[in-house]
């Protein structure tokens, strides 16, 4: 039999020991990284799903808070708009009254009668009409023209004028003169 000769290895030195320990450490670090990668790959989908779930919950909370703030802001703006609108309408009413008063003063200076003046004149004309009717025909008061019936026959009695139209004719010039005196015309 043949025997092999063993090579004699020199005794290990500090350098070779250190090199071996560095090699072993590097090998362990590499293996730890591979293990972490394998574990992350296996648990990655579960971790991703958990993160999505947390994100959805956070998004719902954020949306609820944002909607609450928007509702609050909308309510405030609505109240402010109502307040501003009521204040503005009050100012417009005041402005309108001032404008109406100034226009009325200007028309009065020009001699244009106001609605109150015209109403007073109409009331006075009605009083004068009644007093003229009483004075001219105390026996039979005349009916207004709209309610009077027309005569259908051509008899002389039907063609004779009654006292009522004469009274009306007499009051119309008096009424026109009263209006002219109350409302002098504008000079041009």
**pLDDT string in tens for the chain (188-residue length):** 556 656 666 555 667 777 888 888 888 888 888 888 888 777 877 877 888 888 899 999 999 999 999 999 999 999 999 888 888 888 888 889 999 999 988 988 888 888 888 999 999 999 999 999 999 886 455 555 444 444 444 444 444 444 444 444 445 555 555 555 555 555 54
46 falls within a domain: yes
184 falls within a domain: no
Q: What is the pLDDT of residue 10?
A: 56
71 falls within a domain: yes
Instruction: Write out pLDDT tens, residues 120-169.
Output: 999 999 999 999 999 988 645 555 544 444 444 444 444 444 444 444 44
The whole domain housing 118 covers: 113-137+166-178
Residues 31 and 75 in one domain: yes
Rounded to the nearest 10 degrees, the angle between the axes of helix 163-182 and helix 115-136 is: 150
54 falls within a domain: yes
Q: What is the pLDDT of residue 7?
A: 63
Residues 132 and 82 in one domain: no
Whole-angstrom distance between the N-terminal and C-terminal Cα of the chain? 157
Residues 171 and 128 in one domain: yes
Residues 80 and 128 in one domain: no
118 falls within a domain: yes
Residues 73 and 129 in one domain: no
103, 179 Cβ separation under 8 angstroms: no
131 falls within a domain: yes
- Please report where in the chains the tokens 């200007």 appear, as a residue: 106
Residues 118 and 66 in one domain: no
Q: What is the pLDDT of residue 47?
A: 78
29 falls within a domain: yes
183 falls within a domain: no
Say how many domains are in the chain. Answer: 2
């Amino acid at each position: 039999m043949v025997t092999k000769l063993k090579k004699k290895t020199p005794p290990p030195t500090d350098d070779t020991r250190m090199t071996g320990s560095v090699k072993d450490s590097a090998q362990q670090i590499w293996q730890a990284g591979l293990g972490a990668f394998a574990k992350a790959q296996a648990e990655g989908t579960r971790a991703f799903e958990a993160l999505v779930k947390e994100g959805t919950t956070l998004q719902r909370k954020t949306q609820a808070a944002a909607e609450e703030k928007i509702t609050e802001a909308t309510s405030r703006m609505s109240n402010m708009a109502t307040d501003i609108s009521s204040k503005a309408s009050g100012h417009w009413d005041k402005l309108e009254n001032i404008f109406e008063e100034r226009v009325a003063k200007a028309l009065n200076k020009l001699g244009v009668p106001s609605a109150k003046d015209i109403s007073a004149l109409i009331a006075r004309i009605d009083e004068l009409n009644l007093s003229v009717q009483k004075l001219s025909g105390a026996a039979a008061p005349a009916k207004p023209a709209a309610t009077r019936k027309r005569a259908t026959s051509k008899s002389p009695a039907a063609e004779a004028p009654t006292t009522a139209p004469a009274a009306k004719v007499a009051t119309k010039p008096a009424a026109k003169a009263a209006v002219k005196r109350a409302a002098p015309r504008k000079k041009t």
